[in-house]
Structure 1
Amino acid sequence: MHAPVYLVRHGQSEWNLRRLTQGQTKHPALTGLGREQASRAAEAIATDLARGGLVSARLLTSDLVRATETARIIGSRIGLVPQPDARLREQHLGSLEGRSHEDSWAQAELHDWSDPELPIAGGESVGQVRRRVAAVLAEVDPRVPTVLVSHGDAIRCAIAHLEGRSMTDAPWVEVPNGSVSRFVGEIRWLDLQPP
């Protein structure tokens, strides 16, 4: 049996709160709520590992601030030092980064989403994101539980890859801040208890 892979979206960032498109913008840090979400994610992972009598052996994180802060909180709870991996970054959203969500969504409506290789706003294509996230997943040791801290679009690509779906037929998956999905043959979302 394959050990679990946990996919964690970073907690709420300052730019999530301000409704600004982040993409690969490095500096937005976690808010107080974001740190609470990271703590709940850490507790959910620790509980799930304990339930299975497992010990997490690897913690990888996007190198963007909001993800590294989330990973440090998780790592302190499960006893691991996060290892940064730029392949877990969010999709590079080109000229949309720093713009309001409403403005970005209006621009995104003009994008041809049927072509997964078409870069968005001068940034990355969904296909490029999927390939780099798939490369990380290919390196996961199936014998040891692994935690990957990343971002919404990157996690959607990871889920599509793990489920063997193409990006054009994968359903939209809502990935809230601080959420944790667990993959062992199928995706299951962990229940996050309030502090």
Structure 2
Amino acid sequence: MVEIPTGQRRTRICLVRHGETEWNAARRVQGHIDIGLNENGMRQAAAAGRWLKSAGIAALYSSDLKRAWTTALAIGEAIGLTPQPVPEMRERCYGVFEGLTYAEAQQKYPEGYAAFEGRNADYAFETGESLHAMYDRVTGKLQQIAAAHPGQNVVVTLHGGVLDVINRFVRGNPLEMPRDFLIPNAGINWISTVDGRWTLESWGETAHLEEGALDELPS
């Protein structure tokens, strides 16, 4: 076993994407629109809770959007914790894309969709949020959560777009780089930090789920 020097206490954070929604299944852009879980999503949330029951979780945080919050409530019931809302972990605001399927967004806003698909980090969907702005709010809160729980295990339930930027933050990859990892609904992802150094421990775990957990997000 590798010993951590005195004064260095590793914080482990389990990031759980919300369970499936009908809009996930339809490949419809949700963003800040407050969509609830479908029946499969409810089962996935309960399964994530059972999986984490023996993980020694000290605190539970969640985006305040319904699909993440309901997932957190199911996890909290299993592990005996009440979720704390963190609006900073909301999904990206997709502006004029929200409510459209990806195909509809591409047809209605071809130039904007090309910027989105090309991961232009300054593009903000006319009335939405750029990747740069989202990255700042998400990673700032992530570091606050870690600082509040030295040496503990914490769960945060959140969204696909949020997981996308956290993965890049932890690995030190640029926002513009094409995605090379999965973000399944109710997938379990472990990251950790000690003295400001971040490590990706595991990503996209789905052993607790039935086959077919969706990753409907563009790469």
TM-score using structure 1 length:
0.87
Query: Of the candidates 47, 52, 56, which is equivalent to residue 45 of structure 1?
Result: 52
CA contact (8 A) 2:119 2:177 kept: no
Instruction: State the SS of the aligned residue for 1:21.
Output: coil
Which has the larger Rg?
A: 2
- List runs of 5+ in structure 1 lacking aligned partners: 50-54
- The one-letter amino acid paired with 1:129 is M
CA contact (8 A) 2:119 2:178 kept: no
Instruction: State the SS of the aligned residue for 1:169.
Output: coil
What is the distance in 1 between the residues matched to 2:49 and 2:10?
A: 21
What is the distance in 1 between the residues matched to 2:103 and 2:180?
A: 19
Higher-RCO chain (CA-CA 8 Å, sequence separation at least 6): 1
TM-score using structure 2 length:
0.78
CA contact (8 A) 2:63 2:87 kept: yes
Instruction: State the SS of the aligned residue for 1:128.
Output: helix
- Percent identity, aligned pairs only, is 28
> RMSD of the alignment, in Å?
2.0
Q: Measured at CA, do residues 24 and 183 of structure 1 come closer, stay the same or move farther in structure 2, by a change above 3 Å? A: same
Question: What are the within-5 Å matches in structure 2 for residues 16-55 of structure 1?
Answer: 16-26=24-34, 28-47=35-54, 49=55, 55=56
1:79-103 superposed Cα distances (whole Å, 9 cap, x missing partner): 1100111110000000111112321
Query: Of the candidates 151, 169, 192, which is equivalent to residue 207 of structure 2?
Result: 192
What is the distance in 1 between the residues matched to 2:89 and 2:64?
A: 8
The structure with the largest strand share of the pair is 2
**Residues paired across the two proteins, number:** 188
Match of 2:124 in 1: 119
- List runs of 5+ in structure 2 lacking aligned partners: 1-8, 193-198, 211-219
